């Protein structure tokens, strides 16, 4: 709001007496002194009118009424030593000696506030229209630049995990402050007066919009930023896939993994011109990360087609090799308070009619990254065991995996015994760590490992048997 206490004093022809509320403070309300019972906001001033007798009566009602009244600004035509002494005693600011009195003064102030609010509303409405047009043409980045210009400051848009989506006018320290304020991080914020606006509803949260301005029009900036937050919520959801789109992409990825001429033709119809692609698998141990939405945003930023599908706990798909480095950088730089790092497995480039091999490589690399707790694992950098598995034929791989056939249930599916074996070997035989990872009692884990040894004839105390079991597990990688 531009209607501050200096303007009030100038318009009514009075003089301002400061007892704790600076004269550049904006005004947001008006009340009669006898009706003022709640301090609306510490950032704004509320004007009160009435007689000096009315003011004395409020102060005489007790400490609570006196404290509330003192937080307002008294506007009157009177200006006497006694009145000034009363104001000083209670620490109440005032505009004294106005040229208008009584009802005329009150309604003059009401008209001024109404005019100011109408002007502010018009500016917010006009700004919102422009932001909408800019977002339609240039997306969130362009709208952020327009918002920063209109508020004469800077703006930062973060996703629900505190990762940067777009910013305008913000330096490195501003970005750190914005993230700290949005996520409630207990650190010292170097920039005062930041405003944080939620993007999305409490039930479907999208992110945060943090703004700061050099202008004193705090209310107008707050209203415009609130409208901008709603706009960004719509912009960020424009690619939210329906069930039909999800099933379509799932069928697409399955065809690509199957390979052949049908896969090559489908890639061309999808608008992909590259003749080779690279498989990737992205996942996280926590369910608090929306992997599908995260990958959609990253691919939008990279200008890549949606050649991926979301499975429970992970996303798998294909990407042009020249964009793999950008995806790796985003995963490596991703961090969420209270959550583990993302894990990415990347295969080797393959022709579009033979992508199944790259998909298998990506899954193997992802499993290795998950086991080692690494953010990124490329297939080409996997240890020797993966190259050994890659070198043997499919029939030999099936035979190797058959070592663990006795662990299947009556329906032929692997269950808790295979999972226990996999975690036990991945944790280097540490019972306590393995039990904690599985969420079972240590004795339960020991019992399951003994049962595995009975059914397979392997002994987890012999290095050769442990190596054979691990090779068999990796050979079954597609089923794990």
Q: Is the pLDDT of residue 238 over 80?
A: no
Within a 13 Å sphere around the CA of 148, how many CA atoms are in the beta-carbon half? 19
The mean pLDDT value for 238-251 works out to 68
The mean pLDDT value for 23-51 works out to 80
Q: Is the pLDDT of residue 332 over 80?
A: yes
The pLDDT assigned to 380 comes to 77
The mean pLDDT value for 238-257 works out to 73
The mean-pLDDT minimum among 106-110, 319-323, 370-374 falls in 370-374
State the pairing for strand pair 73-75/195-200. unpaired
How far apart are the C-alpha atoms of 342 and 339, rounded to whole Å?
A: 9
> 53-70: buried (b, 16+ CB within 10 Å) or exposed (e) per residue?
eebeebbeeeeeebeebb
Q: Is the pLDDT of residue 478 over 50?
A: no
More confident residue, 407 or 446: 446
Q: Is the pLDDT of residue 192 over 80?
A: no
Q: Which of the four pLDDT bands, split at 50, 70 and 90, describes residue 394?
A: low
The mean pLDDT value for 173-194 works out to 76
The pLDDT assigned to 316 comes to 93
Q: Is the pLDDT of residue 178 over 80?
A: yes
Q: Which of the four pLDDT bands, split at 50, 70 and 90, describes residue 40?
A: low
Q: Which of the four pLDDT bands, split at 50, 70 and 90, describes residue 306?
A: confident
Question: Is 233 within 8 Å of 206 (Cβ atoms)?
Answer: yes
The pLDDT assigned to 125 comes to 79
CA triple 123-129-131, angle to 5 deg: 100
- Concatenated DSSP letters for 214-244? SSS-HHHHHHHHHHHHHHHHHHHTTT---HH
The pLDDT assigned to 191 comes to 64
How far apart are the C-alpha atoms of 221 and 218, rounded to whole Å?
A: 5
The mean pLDDT value for 158-184 works out to 83
The mean pLDDT value for 4-33 works out to 86
The pLDDT assigned to 384 comes to 56
How far apart are the C-alpha atoms of 372 and 377, rounded to whole Å?
A: 9
Q: Which of the four pLDDT bands, split at 50, 70 and 90, describes residue 326?
A: very high
Question: Is 282 within 8 Å of 344 (Cβ atoms)?
Answer: yes
In whole numbers, what is the pLDDT of the chain averaged over residues? 81
The pLDDT assigned to 412 comes to 62
Q: Is the pLDDT of residue 278 over 90?
A: yes
Question: Length of the chain in residues, anyone?
Answer: 480
Task: Report residue 73: phi and psi, to 5°.
Answer: -120, 115
The pLDDT assigned to 479 comes to 43
Q: Is the pLDDT of residue 262 over 90?
A: no
The pLDDT assigned to 113 comes to 83
The mean pLDDT value for 203-231 works out to 80
The pLDDT assigned to 292 comes to 85
The pLDDT assigned to 345 comes to 93
């Amino acid at each position: 709001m531009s209607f501050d206490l200096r303007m009030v004093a100038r318009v009514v022809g009075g003089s301002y007496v400061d007892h704790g509320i600076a004269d550049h403070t904006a005004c947001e309300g008006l009340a009669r002194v006898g009706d003022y019972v709640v301090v609306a906001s510490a950032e704004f001033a509320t004007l009160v009118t009435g007689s000096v007798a009315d003011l004395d009566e409020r102060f005489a009602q007790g400490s609570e009424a006196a404290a509330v009244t003192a937080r307002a600004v008294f506007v009157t035509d009177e200006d006497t030593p006694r009145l000034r002494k009363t104001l000083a005693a209670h620490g109440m600011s005032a505009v004294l000696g106005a040229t208008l009195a009584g009802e005329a003064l009150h309604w003059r102030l009401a008209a001024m506030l109404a005019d100011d609010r109408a002007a502010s509303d018009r500016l917010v409405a006009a700004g919102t229209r422009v932001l909408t047009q800019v977002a339609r043409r240039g997306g969130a980045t362009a709208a952020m630049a327009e918002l920063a210009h209109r508020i004469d400051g800077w703006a930062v848009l973060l996703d629900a995990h505190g990762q940067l989506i777009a910013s305008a006018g913000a330096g490195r320290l501003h970005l750190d402050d914005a993230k700290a304020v949005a996520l409630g991080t207990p650190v010292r914020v170097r920039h005062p007066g930041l405003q944080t606006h939620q993007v999305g509803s409490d039930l479907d949260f999208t992110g945060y919009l943090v703004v700061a301005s050099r202008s004193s029009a705090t209310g107008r900036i707050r209203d415009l930023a609130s409208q901008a937050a709603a706009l960004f919520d719509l912009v960020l959801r424009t690619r939210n896939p329906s069930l039909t789109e999800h099933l379509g992409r799932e069928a697409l990825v399955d065809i690509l993994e199957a390979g052949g001429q049908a896969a090559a033709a489908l890639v061309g119809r999808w608008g992909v011109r590259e003749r080779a692609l690279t498989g990737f698998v992205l996942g996280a141990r926590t369910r608090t990360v929306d992997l599908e939405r995260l990958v959609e945003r990253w691919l939008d930023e990279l200008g890549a087609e949606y050649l991926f599908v979301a499975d429970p706990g992970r996303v798998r798909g294909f990407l042009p090799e020249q964009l793999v480095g950008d995806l790796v950088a985003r995963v490596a730089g991703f961090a969420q308070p209270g959550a583990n790092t993302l894990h990415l497995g990347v295969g080797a480039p393959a022709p579009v009619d033979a992508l199944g091999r790259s998909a298998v490589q990506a899954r193997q690399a992802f499993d290795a990254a998950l086991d080692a707790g690494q953010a990124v694992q490329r297939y080409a950098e996997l240890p020797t065991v993966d190259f050994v598995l890659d070198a043997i034929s499919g029939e030999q791989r099936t035979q190797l995996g058959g070592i663990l056939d006795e662990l299947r249930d009556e329906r032929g599916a692997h269950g808790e015994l295979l999972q226990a074996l996999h975690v036990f070997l991945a944790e280097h035989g540490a019972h306590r760590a393995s039990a904690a990872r599985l969420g079972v009692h240590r004795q339960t884990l020991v019992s399951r490992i003994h049962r595995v040894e009975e059914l397979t004839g392997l002994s987890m105390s012999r290095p050769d048997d442990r190596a054979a079991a691990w090779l068999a597990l990796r050979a079954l990688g597609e089923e794990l």
